[in-house]
Amino acid sequence: MRVTLKVWRQKSKDDTGRFETYTPQNISSSMSFLEMLDVVNEELITQGKDPIAFDHDCREGICGACSLVINGTAHGPQRGTTVCQLHMRSFRDGEEIYIEPWRAKGFPVIRDLVTDRSAFDRIMQAGGFVSVNAGGAQDANCLPVPKQCADKAMDAAACIGCGACVAACKNASAMLFVSAKVSQLSLLPQGQPERARRVLNMLRQMENESFGGCTNTLECEAVCPKEISVEHIARLNREFASAALVSEEG
């Protein structure tokens, strides 16, 4: 198949960047999107040009490294998957495909399509952990957790921190990410001791990292490769209200 690629090229953080057009040969509809980019890069290297820099690691949809906005949609047109799980058969023969990096002040572009997502690490460092020494392995059912809570916590824990929620949100808000991390721990017994501090510190760090606020457009939920629900944002809002207004700990 033939496609025309309009790829964002940016030499460094300080470069203004621009789109460059590529018309790769030998593209198969069975290739994954990243394999297609590999082919483009091989052609560029053969021509003595700089290959396109893009993030990738596991290529199995679980690590959260790949991060491309394809034709205006984070992770491309296929729902519930990361870019590495997207295949060229999702595109029409002859289609023009725009490839851009995540665009957010909190995710500055390092080179081409690679962004610095260490802001998420700093948000996690602000409270996305349990510092209580849990001791050795507990006996089964020693800490009873309702099945429904365990399921919700597991859903939230599916977040791979790719940042698609930020990329898709018109406000570049990281609320879905923060809400998944806060939900996961607030639903489980181990997360209770630092519950109020966690939500306040993580939200404050989110703001310090220059991410915007949530306006409930639901774009984050729509593009999340792990289909994290905005129900967790509602829980985050409840956790914030409780922590800010009534918690002894907050």
Partner 1 sequence: MNGLGRIFTMTVGLKFLMAVSGFILVGFLVGHLSGNMLLYAGPDAINQYAEVLKKFPVVLWTTRIFLIIAVFVHIYSGVKLSVLNKRARPHAYAVTKRVKATLPSQTMLLSGAVVLSFTLYHLAHFTFRWTHKEEFAGLGDFDVHAMMVLSFQSSVVSSFYVLSIVLLMMHLNHGLVSFFQTLGVNHSKYNGVVKSLSILLSIILALGFISLPISIYFGFVS
By the criterion CB under 8 A, which residues form the site for partner 1? 6, 8, 19, 69, 71-73, 98, 100, 103-106, 168, 170-173, 200, 203-204, 207, 210-219, 221-223, 230-231, 233-238, 240-241, 244-246, 250
Q: Which is nearer to partner 1, 27 or 174 (CB)?
A: 174
Ranges assigned E (strand) in 71-177 = 73-74, 96-100, 109-111, 114-115
For the sheet with 96-100, list strands across it: 18-22, 4-9, 96-100, 69-70, 73-74
State phi, psi for 73 to the nearest 5 degrees: -120, 130
Secondary structure (3-state) at 15: coil
What is the smallest separation between the CB atom of 189 and partner 1, expressed in angstroms?
21
What is the smallest separation between the CB atom of 54 and partner 1, expressed in angstroms?
16
Q: Which is nearer to partner 1, 66 or 199 (CB)?
A: 199
What is the smallest separation between the CB atom of 140 and partner 1, expressed in angstroms?
30
Residue 18's identity, in one-letter code, is R
What is the smallest separation between the CB atom of 238 and partner 1, expressed in angstroms?
3
What is the smallest separation between the CB atom of 77 and partner 1, expressed in angstroms?
8
Q: Which is nearer to partner 1, 18 or 140 (CB)?
A: 18
Q: Which is nearer to partner 1, 162 or 236 (CB)?
A: 236
Q: Which is nearer to partner 1, 61 or 76 (CB)?
A: 76
What is the smallest separation between the CB atom of 66 and partner 1, expressed in angstroms?
17
Ranges assigned E (strand) in the chain = 4-9, 18-22, 69-70, 73-74, 96-100, 109-111, 114-115
Q: Which is nearer to partner 1, 91 or 240 (CB)?
A: 240
Query: In this structure, what token pair is assigned to residue 26?
Result: 């030998």
Angle at alpha carbon of residue 64, lines to 195 and 6, rounded to 5°: 135
Query: In this structure, what token pair is assigned to residue 10?
Result: 């940016």
Report the alpha-carbon distance of residue 17 to residue 11 in Å, rounded.
7
> In terms of DSSP bridges, do strands 96-100 and 73-74 run parallel, antiparallel, or are they unpaired?
unpaired
